[in-house]
């Protein structure tokens, strides 16, 4: 049985599974909140280097990366990849 982690976690089952696999709370929440479409998109998006800084910032906001407003484009890319 999964627990309700409140409104900050959209998919409790995914969150719980990731936590059992050893993912941090932050990483599990980001993945659980990214939605089902995230796993279906693989390989179709252009590489981060082709994105604008604003697009990278928006993606970082979607997954909840902290400190994103002060990051450069390269720092955003590194942070998104290290997820």
Closest CA to 10 of 27, 26, 39, 34: 34
Q: What does the pLDDT average to over 60-78?
A: 94
Distance between CA atoms of residues 44 and 64, nearest Å: 22
Give per-residue pLDDT as tens, 2-52.
Answer: 566 666 777 788 888 888 888 888 887 888 777 655 555 456 778 899 999
CB 8 within 8 A of CB 29: yes
pLDDT at position 3: 64
Domain boundary assignment for the chain: 1-44, 46-83
- Per the confidence metrics, is the pTM higher than 0.75? no
């Amino acid at each position: 049985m999964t627990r309700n982690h409140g409104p900050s976690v959209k998919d409790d089952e995914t969150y719980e599974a990731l936590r059992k696999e050893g993912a941090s709370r932050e990483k599990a929440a980001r993945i659980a909140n990214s939605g089902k479409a995230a796993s279906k998109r693989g390989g179709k998006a252009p590489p981060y280097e082709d994105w604008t800084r604003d697009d990278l910032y928006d993606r970082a906001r979607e997954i909840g990366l902290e400190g994103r407003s002060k990051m450069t484009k390269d720092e955003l890319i590194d942070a998104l990849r290290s997820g």
